[in-house]
């Protein structure tokens, strides 16, 4: 039986403590225990404890951080819940596909399931930190789910796949990979490095970015870069800088 | 599109009005509209309205009755949610099987989905009024779901089966992509360009390639690069060459 010790649920700016408690309960019902809260409006909270019922332990061990970026810094797979279509489409998963993806990871890969604010969901900056977006299929005329309900559906599908996985493990293409997946923090450093080089070579103007970094993130976010690949990309950038600098000296 | 006008959700003795509202929201999210309440402790209720969000219409049209028996009197299929194994085993469905069963009914058959009290669920008398019991698979050490969460899971499975019946799901993640995919030839030209630049900057020695191009191909081969992304990558390479050449002139 797979445990979910490598998976965490991240709630970004939850405004109602009741939803934090109800999310903790939903998580524990489905076998998940790690909760991270990004700038919750009110936490700890007696209301959260009441709604958590017998999942108070999930609340007690919840980690509070200041930014989504730090919440996912060590994660190799980040999936964000999104109700809407975006201007620049992102790789979308159904809840079942989301669950299958997580189960197919090595259990050393840290995984974050990210949920947004009750009223507005994840914003574009948040969503760009995600490798995939997951959308819960819903009534077209009213597709805004309660936060804890969304957590429940995603965790329920995850639990269901584990039950099935004991009979039949769908091998993912990364199952037998020869390298560890790069962490979110390492990939962020690569983006920063690439951005510096693009500015140096006059390809990118931060004053007039034209969504360039957005597209770069979507490009490399789809790859799930491994460690050796990251080293190759960083090496290329470093050599470009050296070559240019060498000429300038 | 099948509507669910023949299906109703029956809540037996709900004690917290918040759960009535949250159940209404979950129902409407998944395309269900008919709610029947058996002796609710508090209804109508402002708390229920608050938690219903944009599903207040479901609350407003909810029918209140005095017994489960009268709630299901005209129903041809009654399915009750049950968390526990019973002394006398009953035909059990998973949430998926429950959904498949409902969809397979003639849509003239009235169907009731019955949920019990928050603290104790349906009692034995209630359960005997059901043709089937449905059990949501959950963590063995904590399988008590919040009432509205249970309503959400059952209605979500129902909604999912309808989507599948229409073959609208699952969407491929590239289904709604905004750009054309680059052709194999275009991607090959990119590899050649990248190789030239890597040689120029001293990162790559074709005499001693150490599988570098092999790894580069595996890296970019994993994404289906789109045309705009290809143009970005080619543009970066061209600018690197210009910058270096500019220094050399």
CATH number at residue A207: 1.10.8.590
Contact A94 B171 (CB under 8 A): yes
For A221, the closest chain B residue by CA position comes to B223
Q: How far is B125 from chain A (nearest CA, A)?
A: 26
Domain at B40, CATH number: 3.40.1280.10
Same domain membership, residue B161 and residue B43: yes
For residue A210, name the pLDDT band (cuts at 50, 70, 90).
confident
Highest-confidence range of A63-72, A224-233, B93-102, B159-168, by mean pLDDT?
Answer: A63-72
Do residue B53 and residue B161 come from a single domain?
A: yes
Residues A30 and A128 in one domain: yes
Q: What is the pLDDT of residue A169?
A: 44
The domain boundary, picked from A138, A165, A192, lies at: A165
**In Å, how far is A149's CA from the nearest CA of chain B?**
6
- From B55, B57, B216, select the one nearest B151 (Cα to Cα): B55
| Inside any domain, residue B211 | yes
Which of A51, A142, A248 minimises the CB distance to B55? A142
Q: Which residues of B touch A224 (CB under 8 A)?
A: 222
Distance from CA of A72 to the nearest CA of B (A): 22
Rounded Cα distance, B79 and B154, in Å:
11
pLDDT (tens place) for every residue of chain B, 249 residues total: 468 999 999 999 999 999 999 999 999 999 999 999 999 999 999 999 999 999 999 999 999 999 999 999 888 889 999 876 555 667 788 999 999 989 888 777 889 999 999 988 998 889 888 888 899 999 989 999 999 999 999 999 999 988 876 654 445 555 567 777 777 788 889 999 999 999 999 999 989 888 888 888 878 877 778 888 999 999 999 999 999 988 655
Domain coverage including residue B50: 7-165
Q: What is the average per-residue pLDDT within A9-33? A: 97
pLDDT of B17: 97
Chain A residues whose CB is inside 8 A of the B197 CB are 236, 240
Residues of B in contact with A80 (CB under 8 A): none
Whether B33 is in a domain gets the answer yes
User: Does the structure show a pLDDT above 60 at A162?
Assistant: yes
pTM of the model: 0.78
pLDDT for the residue B210: 80
Residue B172 lies in a domain: no
Which of A97, A137, A232 is the closest to B160 by Cβ? A137
Confidence of residue A137 (pLDDT cuts 50, 70, 90): very high
In-domain check, residue A12: yes
Does residue B114 sit in helix, strand or coil? strand
Residues A37 and A91 in one domain: yes
Asked whether residue A114 falls in the same domain as residue A208, the answer is: no
Residue A122 and residue A160 in one domain: yes
Residues B100 and B200 in one domain: no
Rank A140-144, A159-163, B5-9, B87-91 by mean pLDDT and report only the highest.
Answer: B5-9
Among residues A30, A36, A31, A28, the alpha carbon closest in space to that of A9 is found at A36
Q: Per the domain annotation, does A171 fall within a domain?
A: no
Residues of B within 8 A of A28 (CB-CB) are: 139, 142
A225 part of a folded domain = yes
Domain match, B20 and B139 both:
yes
Among A134, A165, A196, give the residue marking a domain's end. Answer: A165
Per the listing, tokens 């299906």 go with B7
Residue of A nearest to B218 (CA): A229
List of chain A residues whose C-beta atoms are within 8 Å of the C-beta of residue B138: 29-30, 159
On whether residue A170 sits in a domain, the answer given is no
State residue A44 phi and psi, 5-degree precision: -65, 165
| Beta carbons of A31 and B139 less than 8 Å apart | yes
Same-domain pairing of B129 and B197: no
Asked whether residue B223 is domain-assigned, the answer is yes
Angstroms from A126 CA to nearest CA on chain B: 19
Min distance B68 CA to chain A CA atoms (Å): 26
One domain for residues A56 and A124: yes
Nearest residue on chain A to B157, alpha-carbon basis: A153
B150 plus B195 within the same structural domain: no
Among B31, B159, B203, whose Cβ lies nearest the Cβ of A236?
A: B203
Quote the CA–CA distance of B64 and A59 in Å, as a whole number.
36
pLDDT (0 to 100) of residue A114: 97
The pLDDT value given to residue A168: 47
Closest-CA distance of chain A to residue B86, Å: 20
The alpha helices in chain B, defined as continuous H runs, are 17-29, 46-52, 56-60, 68-71, 95-104, 124-128, 147-165, 184-200, 212-221, 227-248
Question: Which pLDDT score is estimated for A170?
Answer: 42
Q: In chain A, what residues touch B176 (CB-CB under 8 Å)?
A: 85, 89, 92
**Residue pairs between chains A and B whose CB atoms are closer than 8 Å:** 169
Report the domain count for chain A: 2
Q: Which of A30, A88, A235 has the CB atom closest to B139's CB atom?
A: A30
List b or e across A147-181, with b for residues whose CB sees 16 or more CB atoms inside 10 angstroms: bbbbbbbbbbbbbbbbeebeeeeeeeebeeeeeeb
Shared domain for A22 and A99, answered yes or no, is yes
> Closest residue of B to A32, CA-based?
B139
Inter-chain residue contact B29 with A149, CB threshold 8 Å:
yes
Q: What is the pLDDT of residue A248?
A: 59
């Amino acid at each position: 039986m797979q445990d979910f010790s490598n998976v965490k649920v991240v709630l970004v700016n939850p405004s109602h403590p009741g939803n934090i408690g109800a999310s903790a309960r939903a998580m524990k019902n489905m076998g998940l225990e790690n909760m991270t809260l990004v700038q919750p409006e009110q936490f700890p909270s007696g209301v959260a404890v009441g709604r958590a019922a017998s999942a108070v332990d999930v609340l007690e061990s919840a980690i509070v951080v200041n930014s989504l970026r730090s919440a996912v810094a060590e994660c190799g797979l980040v999936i964000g819940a999104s109700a809407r279509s975006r201007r620049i489409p992102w790789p979308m998963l159904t809840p079942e596909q989301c669950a299958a993806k997580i189960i197919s990871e090595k259990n050393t890969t840290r995984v974050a399931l990210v949920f947004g604010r009750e009223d507005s969901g994840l914003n574009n900056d948040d969503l760009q930190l995600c490798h995939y977006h997951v959308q819960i299929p819903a009534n077209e005329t009213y597709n805004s789910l309660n936060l804890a309900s969304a957590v429940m559906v995603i965790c329920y599908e995850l639990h269901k796949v584990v039950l099935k996985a004991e009979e039949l493990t769908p091998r993912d293409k990364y199952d037998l990979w020869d390298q560890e997946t790069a962490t979110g923090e390492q990939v962020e450093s690569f983006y920063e490095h690439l951005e510096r080089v693009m500015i140096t070579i006059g390809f990118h103007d931060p004053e007039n970015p034209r969504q360039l970094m957005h597209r770069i993130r979507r490009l490399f976010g789809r790859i799930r870069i491994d460690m050796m690949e990251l080293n190759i990309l960083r090496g290329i950038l470093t050599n470009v800088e050296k070559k240019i600098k060498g000429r300038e000296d």
